[in-house]
Structure 1
Amino acid sequence: MQSSIEGNRQAQVVVLIPAHNEESSIGATVQALLSQERVPDRIVVIADNCTDGTVAIASALRHQALVVTETRNNRDKKCGGLNAAWRRYATDADIVVCLDADTVLPPNAIGDWIEEFATDPGLAGSSSKFTMRGTAFLVRLQRAEFAKWTDSSLRRGWTSVLAGTACAIRNSVLHEVVRTHRRYGPWLHASQVEDFELTYRIRELGYYCRVSPTVRAYTDAMTTVRALWGQRMKWQVGTVEDLIRFGVNRRTLLDWRQQAAGLLAASVRFGWIFFTVLYAALGILHFAPFWFFVPLLFIANDVKQAMRIPHRDRWDIVLAALLLPQEAFAWMRACWFVAAWAEVIRSRITGTRKDRWTMQYAAEAAV
């Protein structure tokens, strides 16, 4: 049974912030919450196996709404921390906000989320429009990628994944998920993409989730190819594993189409290399002027999409117009699509499975 959310004063909002060695960012993340136009009723920093100054920095902020808790004997990493904190601090909340420890919300976020749930009883979850901070080459490419994802989700009016970077969820629906699937908590560590799995379970119950039209979040991006590869392999492998588990149905059709499109794009790219080399070896490769037409179309499309990037500058447009940076990123995407599917197939044959949670943590720690 859904709880009543009638306005900014009545709704109880609890923010859960899982943090693993986040001393460089946790202060700004919490300060942004304390500066909200509507401050959350409780802010829970979940220090999970931290070996740095995360706990000390968060505790020093001292606010009546702030709770800093440390996990003990938690083997389920982010999911374990979230579930323990949810059971201890958020069971009576109306809205639960999940926020990464390197993410900053603008002042309107909490109030706007409350208003969204108050005016739309069928809404179960609202994801932020998240934007990567920084000016590095790799960061700009990721910012462009997620600007495109945001626009697509907003046009569609719903999303199949509530991004754990920053999202708000109706707590009565989380309770319903726990009861229906007899779980310890809403987040399932057995899934390597717990946000996608939870969103599917929410939608399975008949609710819908969307990207907020007004709430933006500013977060860190992967700054090295190794960290980016670790992140995306975890996402892609986990998504494929969960889709196979869920099967093909009306709730997964979009995601299956995206997987098919990704594999098709990879096939086209690798096929282009193969046939180019083959024709050159056979001496039948000849240049034709119309070859320039396709790259020009790609450039025009990339520039058009770059114009939609939040807080863009001229370098975002230049990167899009150069074509090669976007092409390099597309090749990397093709590689992790193929590598992830190969890993899942191999895992199903051999019965072994890589711990992508640990591998991503290791990749990020090496930055």
Structure 2
Amino acid sequence: MNPSIDISALKRVYVKPRIVAFIPAHNEENSIRDCLEGLADQDLPPNVELDVFVIADNCTDKTEDEALKAGHDLDLRVIVIKTKGNKQRKVGALNSAWKSIYGDVMELYENKLTPFQEKYKPAVKAILGMDADSRLAPHSLLHMWSGLMSARNIGGVMAKYTMRMPQKKSALTRDDPYYEQKLRSGKYGGPIQRWWTHQQKQDMASWILNLQYHGGSTYVLGGQATLFRPEALENIVNENNLDGPWQNDSDVEDMLLTWQLQKLKWKTLISPDARCFVDAMRSYHTYRQQRNKWRGGTVDLLTNKDIKIKTRHYGMLWRSQMKTFIDLFIRILFFVLLTVAISTDQFVWSWLWIIPVALASILNFVLALKTPMSRPIDIFLGGLVISTEIYLWVNFLTFIQVWLDKLSPYKKDGWAQQYQAENGTTRSKLWQGLGLFALFMTALVLSAIHYREYLTSESFQELTAPYLEFGWLILTYLTIFASSVMVYKIWTLRSRHKA
């Protein structure tokens, strides 16, 4: 892969320190300008300049033209790197930008830096990694810079992420000549898309608040907006004999990079003040494919003995996996016990069951309040628990699939599956699944009615009673544990930290 770079605007000698932004962009002609407008809004540290490297990665649209035009209009120094035949997607695009400054160690005939690189490389004091469909809030770059420069051992500082809520689709009129174009832009959505966006935004807020409460260290420097120290990235390249900091060995290249930084004793932090607005997945199918990639990559790293990090994050991630398993098991066990108890006429109501529901309601209500730019309907639905429970079940399905895939001998390409889902080349099986579940429930109810006389007989009740008693006992202890975790989370949310 030989990226071409136009450096005609960068021939003079640079003496000022620089921040360089790496923005991989595959067919992002509709979003690249918004991303660059966010960079144009930023304040820069005194005597520090900003250069923006847009990597037009295997593009077949006008991403390059739109980037250069936006750079001219916004008075940004934009350099476009074009890749062709890049098979490593985002990783290959980022490494192309890296090699344009630091050289390509895999070059067969010339390993020396060019005159341009010799002059430019020492001036680079920070590297900003961004996605082409994200946008920094004003002053965020300065906040990340302050965090990065607060200590020499800080390898990267990430902005806090907030999902952008799409505007109401009903605000558009069908006689608008740009109606279809506006819908395709992704800036508008119906109630379901807006509901999905809020659930992801609240989920992200919960994650950020938890990390901030425990000191602000993060186990993943997200690719949407992170400011890196160049020496830390060079440290990764040299220690691991790589040709670039980013690796294609994982579906979560940003998490792999973060773990390698921590293994080399670099700190990885979340900025308490910087914010980046990112797009959410707005359908069940695209969300599932994205989370399959994220969670699958996380499990791969957790089970990779060569990349184990000796920090509290490693144990925290395993505890999170166990917590998800316990939450799923509680619900399945409750469904089984409730079904058997009702079918055999042994069901006894207890008001104690209200306690975990009430705790979940309080927790989600407070989380919705602390989620940036929440709507009143989001806070109301958070208190009802139903929305959160639906969202949680979607994550349970992802959890099950990820671990089944882990046990499977076949390796799936998470990037390809997410990309295909976002482009509409694959379809969700949600309705088929719901249909099968409805058939199962119907068959279960009809069977209970048909065999009611036998199921409620004294002999069958005596047979099932010990199992029910033991099952309810196990469920009670697990529920106490889950309730204790919710109480702890509610306690942590009292802190001054903001998502």
Q: TM-score, normalised by structure 1?
A: 0.92
What is the identity, as a one-letter code, of the residue corresponding to 1:54?
T
Q: Does 1:195 align with 2:246?
A: no
Distance of 2:284 and 2:126 partners within structure 1: 36
| 1:288-345 deviation line (CA, Å, top 9, x unaligned) | 3333332122111110111111122212211202211100011111111121011011
1:340 to 1:65, Cα distance in 2 relative to 1, 3 A: same
Report how far residue 257 of structure 1 moved.
1.6
- Equivalent residues in 2 for 1:159-198, closer than 5 Å: 159-198=218-257
Structure 1's 354 and 217: CA in aligned 2 closer, same or farther, altered over 3 A? same
Paired letter, 1:340: V
* Matched residue, 1:58: 67
- Give the conservation status (yes or no) of the 8 Å contact 1:266–1:335: no
Could you tell me how far apart the structure 1 residues matched to 2:399 and 2:17 are?
42
Q: Check 1:46–1:294 CA distance in 2 against 1; reply closer, same or farther (3 A cut).
A: same
- The 1-side partners of 2:414 and 2:88 are apart by 12
**Residue type of the alignment partner of 1:308:** K
Percent identity reads 28
Among 334, 351, 356, which residue is 1:272 paired with?
334
Which residue number in structure 1 is paired with residue 364 of structure 2? 302
Contact in 2 for aligned 1:11/1:114 (Cα 8 Å)? no
Does 2:165 correspond to 1:134? Answer: yes
Q: CA deviation at 1:272?
A: 2.2
Q: Per-residue CA shift, 1:197-225, capped at 9, x if unaligned?
A: 00000000011111101111011100011
1:207 to 256, 263, 266: 266
User: Hey, what's the Cα distance between the residues in 2 that align with 1:82 and 1:311?
Assistant: 32
2:144·2:158 contact (CA, 8 Å) conserved in 1?
no
Pairing partner for 2:91 from 79, 93, 104: 79
Q: CA deviation at 1:50?
A: 2.1
3-state secondary structure, aligned to 1:67:
strand
Which one has the largest radius of gyration? 2
Q: Partners of 2:32 and 2:346 in 1: how far apart?
A: 59
Whose RCO is larger (CA < 8 A, sep 6+)?
1
Alignment of 1:213-292 (within 5 A): 213-246=272-305, 250-251=310-311, 252-292=314-354
Distance in 1 separating the partners of 2:331 and 2:153: 42
- Distance in 2 (CA, whole Å) between partners of 1:256 and 1:87 is 36
Corresponding residue of 1:120: 151
Q: Secondary structure at the match of 2:370?
A: coil
Listed one character per residue, the Cα deviations across residues 259-292 of structure 1 (whole Å, up to 9, x for unaligned) are: 2222222222222223222333333223333333
Rate the CA distance shift 1:26–1:249 in 2: closer, same or farther, 3 A: closer
How far, CA to CA, are the matches of 1:324 and 1:256 in structure 2? 27
Give yes or no for the alignment of 1:30 onto 2:70: no
The verdict on how the C-alpha distance between 1:241 and 1:119 changes in structure 2, with shifts beyond 3 A counting, is same
Q: Distance in 2 between matches of 1:13 and 1:248?
A: 31
Partner residue in 1 for 2:139: 108
For 2:27, the equivalent position in structure 1 comes to: 21
Provide the rounded CA distance (Å) in 2 between the counterparts of 1:12 and 1:225: 41
Q: Which moved more, 1:143-152 or 1:293-302?
A: 293-302
Tell which deviates more after alignment, 319-328 or 239-248: 239-248
List alignment gaps of at least 5 residues for structure 2: 1-14, 104-120, 167-193, 426-499
Report Cα offsets for 1:60-115 as digits up to 9, x if no partner.
Answer: 12245101222111000010100111111467222111111111102212222222
| Matched residue, 1:44 | 53
CA contact (8 A) 1:154 1:210 kept: no
**Paired AA for residue 43 in structure 2:** E
In the aligned structure 2, how far is the partner of 1:286 from the partner of 1:40? Answer: 70
Q: Structure 1's 232 and 84: CA in aligned 2 closer, same or farther, altered over 3 A?
A: same
Preserved CA contact (<8 Å) 1:48 1:77: yes
Unaligned runs of 5+ in 1: 1-8
- Identify the residue that residue 68 of structure 1 maps to in structure 2: 80
Residues in 1 aligned to 2:346 and 2:64: alpha-carbon distance in whole angstroms: 66
- CA contact under 8 A between 1:266 and 1:337: conserved in structure 2? no
Post-superposition CA distance 1:177-216 (Å, at most 9, x none):
0000011111111111001100000000011111101111
CA distance in 2, matches of 1:40, 1:138: 38
Secondary structure, aligned partner of 1:159: coil
| Secondary structure in 1 matching 2:149 | helix
